[in-house]
Structure 1
Amino acid sequence: MGYPRKLTRRFRAFDNFAISFTIINIISGIFSSFGMGMNAGGPRILVFGWIGVSVMVLFVGAAMAEIASAYPTSGALYFSAGKLAKKHKGAWSWYTGWLNFVGQIGGTAATGYAAATFIQAYVSMQWSSYHPTLQQTVLITAGILVVQALANTYTVQLVAILNRISVWWLLVGMVIIVTTLIVVPDQHQSAGFVTHYANNTGFENAIYAGMLGLLVTSWTFTGFDGSFHMSEETVKATVNAPKGIVRAIGYSAVTGLLLMLALVYAIRDYGKEAGADAPPVQVLIDALGTGTAKMLLLIVIGAMLFCGLANMTSNTRQIFAFSRDGAMPGSRLWHSVSPRTRTPVKAVWLAAACSLVLVIPGWWSHVAFSAVVSVNVVGLFLAYAVPIFLRLRLGDAFQPGPWNLGRWGKPVAAIAVLWIVFSSVLFMLPQVSPIDATSFNYAPIALAVVLAIATVWWFATARRRFQGPVSYGRPDEVAAMDLI
């Protein structure tokens, strides 16, 4: 790929799959946004929306996996965009990298914020005198980001071990939660409850409100580009990275549907639970009792913390690669690698700091979580769309890697791009009515600010010096520069 090797290649096939499976994280994604779905469409959207969006995301993942097999580098999306573009390679690569950056930051921030919310829900159950506030949520999120940054500061082996643990935590945890929700409650909703519709968004248009509920599944299925970003640390990356992407999406779709159904059928008092501060927690309490609910909540919190850790790992690799090509302010700092741990330590702390900045509006905004989720979903999926679109435009001139879709490559890519365009427009729109300063969806502003900065910087200086991914020389020349 034209780069001297700086990162240790110690991720096995399972480790690569684990990073995306952990970032997708069905427990974290479903529990953190279940309340959003209860109020925007209800069980009908939660269940059937999960199935429909999962299929669409699988198209996106398969199209990305084909590209990952051809260009297995830490730069992932922005690198492949630069290689697939027929002309203006620098511009395509530049904007893809910045969209990927803001999307990754949004994912790390949203997962930390969700974990802080559920930690406070647990504390409130333990000590009734504790009352969560927006300010406390932001402060706890900051603490979580610091701990996750410290974990990512150490060796890649530690991250790999934690990701392996996280996979089993997710799978075993999912089995425990689903089994408990099936066996313990003395009653469940009727079979037809999955068609129940609810709209508490404030918007009168039922279709619009229901489509907003699709954000639940879309938010869960973000971050599978993590396998792509870890390519340079994965053995046999041209095969293991694309397999990691597709397997993570497929396994998450099936196990996530089981968890979603278990939660939906455990609902008792819909209005009370949908209006609670943490709706899925209230569902657990009403169906299982406080003691059992607290035990399951610990599983959920652990899953969220693992998810945030994996998010930050993927995030830092994108920052490392983007800086390696001189595309970020202070690039020399962010692509430096610790000689002791062989990890991009400075990039880790940049990711943590930027994630905290994105969470700060939560100090006063009660829709901060959904806004940060929108930043994550829209930023990442638009970054996914660019190389897929360029691969589609390239047609038969695209040179696939060992893992490819054959003649199905172009139709799969076309469906993926269409879905991303539709969902990105939807999730930038208002999500709650009436719209005021505390309920405004600031996702478009956050994305616009980042893109405005990228645009100004591009036309001011970057277009003259940034021509896309850097090549350090021929394979034999690069091998001679390898630092390991």
Structure 2
Amino acid sequence: MLIVMSNKTTGSLYFWSAHLAGPIWGPFASWCCAWLEMIGLIAGIGTQAYGGSKVLQSIILLSTGTNKGGGYLAPCGVFLSMYVGFTIIWAILNTFALDVIACIDTVSIWWQIIGGAVIVVMLPLVAPTTQSASYVFLHLETSPDLTGIRNKAYAIVLSFLVSQYSLYGYDAAAHLTEETKGADINGPIAILSSLGIVSVFGWAFILALTFSIQDPRYLYDANNETAGSFVPAQILYDAFHGRYHNSSGAIVMLIVIWGSFFFGGVSVTTSAARVVYALSRDGGIPFSRIWHKLHPTYKIPANAVWLCAGLCILLGLPILKVNVVFTAIASICTVGWVGGYAVPIFARMIMPRKNFKPGPFFLGRASRPICMIAFLWICYTCSVFLLPTVYPIEWDTFNYSPIALGVVLGLIMFWWLVHARKWFKGPVSNIGT
């Protein structure tokens, strides 16, 4: 972390946007990118906290019985306490336990590779029956009784959300390019490698779950063994209980999944604090001096860490009243995080060719078409993430992400127009070149 804080720029996309947009539009581009990325990362902490809480809720339920057998299903208040607890633990680790985080990062890699491989291989083998390939690849289940969605085209549009939400691990590789030797080659390789690993393992995991479904309609039944609250938990329970007549195997697999959320939360908190530090260093956040301040002993932006944790907790408070909180938080996360990538991509598309100096890792003539495809895809997915996922729209099913994003981004742009554009210059160096 000491390396990060003494780095020339810190902020990855934030710096890229300023560089690619040029001296005139660079400040505005970096302003938009940094705020989008910061919003996405803070919401990203929330998605990990919510996912981890949901898995822990299922572990406790199956460990104490089942929904049918007197098991304990954590109510909204306890669930929110889990959510807040994870967020605080991650903030503490990122403030006082940097050595532990380094160890956690190493454990996380092997945990997810080995644990993910075990689930992908074992689950279809344990399941009493498996679905056919035609069901997995061709069948479309809208579950209108649960979602209120009967239009298949709309269901297909929404189905892309899972894959887009899961494709954000490469952001860590992007941050690390600023502290990597031979970053002009190793940085792009790390980003592409992380994308490949996430894509392969994510697809394999989804296939393993889908092939192992026993009764599709029973998965969402509020009266099933997992109370219909977490579909993967019910799939795991059906597989192991159907084969061995107990839920021990399902609990072990859920612990593996829970570990992935926990490790992810540690990493996302680190990334969020880095972006807050970078933007506050350049005066781009209210009370920047507070968030830019380093801990006197550990030399990390502790205030930035706790700002991220506090905002994440506020984002999760609707858990007490709203049933689609995860959808809303995941939407805010993806629109912000992925939307942040749209800024440097768009800047690269419109950048005059004479002003662009390619490095050793260059796509050549294919770069602009690929940028166009990537930009249009980001626009599509960000739009879809703002759509309702449950009908009819009521207070407890309302996806509040469009309002939350609209208010926050509106205030940010208003601040830029009336004041920030007069003094904000984009990323600055901490040390001389």
The one of 271, 276, 292 equivalent to 1:314 is 271
Q: Is the 8 Å Cα contact of residues 169 and 303 (structure 1) preserved in structure 2?
A: yes
Q: Indicate yes or no: 2:25 matched with 1:88.
A: yes
Deviation at 1:222, TM superposition (A): 2.1
Equivalent pairs counted in the alignment come to: 410
> CA offsets, 1:361-420, max 9 Å, x none?
111100000111011111111111011100111142222333332332211111100101
CA 1:72/1:234 → structure 2, altered by over 3 Å: closer, same or farther? farther
In 2, the alpha carbon distance for the partners of 1:470 and 1:312 equals 23
User: Shift of residue 281 of structure 1?
Assistant: 0.3
Q: Match of 2:3?
A: 8
Match of 2:205 among 259, 283, 286: 259
Cα shift readout 1:231-268 (whole Å, capped 9, x = no counterpart): 34433333333222111110111122221111111100
Once the two structures are superposed, the pairs formed by residues 162-311 of structure 1 within 5 Å of their partners are 162-194=104-136, 195-200=138-143, 201-275=147-221, 276-289=228-241, 290-311=247-268
Structure with the greater relative contact order (CA < 8 A, sep ≥ 6): 1 or 2? 1
In the TM superposition, what whole-angstrom CA distance separates every residue of 1:58-93 from its partner, at most 9, and x where no partner exists? xxxxxxxxxxxxx99422122221222243322222
**TM-score of the superposition, structure 1-length normalised?**
0.81
Q: Distance in 1 between matches of 2:40 and 2:142?
A: 28
Structure 2 residue runs of 5 or longer lacking an equivalent are: 65-69, 222-227, 242-246
In the superposition, relative to structure 1, how do residues 321 and 261 fare at CA in structure 2: closer, same or farther (>3 Å)? same
Work out whether 1:462 is the aligned partner of 2:398. Answer: no
The answer as to whether partners of 1:8 and 1:342 remain within 8 angstroms in 2 is: no
The equivalences for 1:30-179 within 5 A come to 73-86=9-22, 87-127=24-64, 128-154=70-96, 156-179=98-121
1:169–1:422 CA distance, 2 compared to 1 (3 A): same
Pairing partner for 1:343 from 264, 280, 300: 300
For 1:245, give the aligned amino acid: I
Distance 1:395 1:385 in 2: 18
CA contact (8 A) 1:215 1:427 kept: yes
Distance 1:117 1:302 in 2: 12
Counterparts of 1:340 and 1:404, CA distance in 2: 42
Task: Indicate conservation of the 8 Å contact 1:108/1:311, yes or no.
Answer: yes
- Give the structure-2-normalised TM-score: 0.90
CA distance in 1, matches of 2:4, 2:342: 28
CA contact (8 A) 2:62 2:71 kept: no
1:405 maps to what in 2?
A: 363
Partner Cα separation in structure 2 for residue 362 and residue 9 of structure 1: 35
SS in structure 1 opposite 2:396? coil
- Report what 1:354 is aligned to: 311
CA distance in 2 between counterparts of 1:405 and 1:139 reads 48
Give the equivalent residue in structure 2 for 1:16.
Answer: none
Measured in 1, the distance between the counterparts of 2:44 and 2:33 equals 16
Distance between the aligned counterparts of 2:98 and 2:357, measured in 1?
Answer: 31
Separation of aligned partners in 2, 1:158 and 1:234: 21
Q: Distance in 2 between matches of 1:72 and 1:255?
A: 35
Letter in 2 for 1:91: F
Runs of 4+ in structure 1 off by over 4 angstroms are none
Q: 1:441 aligns to what SS in structure 2?
A: coil
Amino acid at match of 1:88: W
Q: 1:465 to 1:223 in 2, by over 3 A?
A: farther
CA–CA distance in 1 between the matches of 2:175 and 2:287? Answer: 21
Alpha-carbon contact 1:223-1:311 (below 8 Å) kept = no
- Residue 444 of structure 1, CA deviation: 0.7
* CA shift for structure 1 position 430: 1.3
Question: Are the aligned partners of 1:221 and 1:249 in contact in 2 as well (CA < 8 Å)?
Answer: yes
What is the CA–CA distance in structure 2 between the aligned matches of 1:410 and 1:374, rounded to whole Å?
28
Deviation string for 1:332-386 (max 9, x for gaps)? 1222223432322111111111111111111110000011101111111111101
Q: Distance in 2 between matches of 1:181 and 1:356?
A: 34
Please, which of 385, 391, 395 is the counterpart of residue 342 of structure 2? 385
Which deviates the most, 173-182 or 137-146? 173-182
| Partner of residue 478, structure 1 | 432
Q: Which amino acid aligns with 2:3?
A: T
- State whether residues 9 and 429 of structure 2, in contact with CA within 8 Å, keep that contact through their aligned partners in structure 1: no
1:434 corresponds in structure 2 to: 392
Report the residue type matching 1:271 in the other structure.
R
Equivalent-residue separation in structure 2 for 1:322 and 1:231 (angstroms): 18
Asked whether the equivalents of residues 74 and 228 of structure 1 are also in contact (C-alpha less than 8 Å), the reply is no
Which string of whole-angstrom CA distances, capped at 9 and with x for unpartnered residues, describes residues 429-452 of structure 1? Answer: 111110011111111111112112
Secondary structure of the structure 2 residue equivalent to 1:298: helix
For the 8 Å contact 1:103–1:380, the answer to whether it is kept is yes
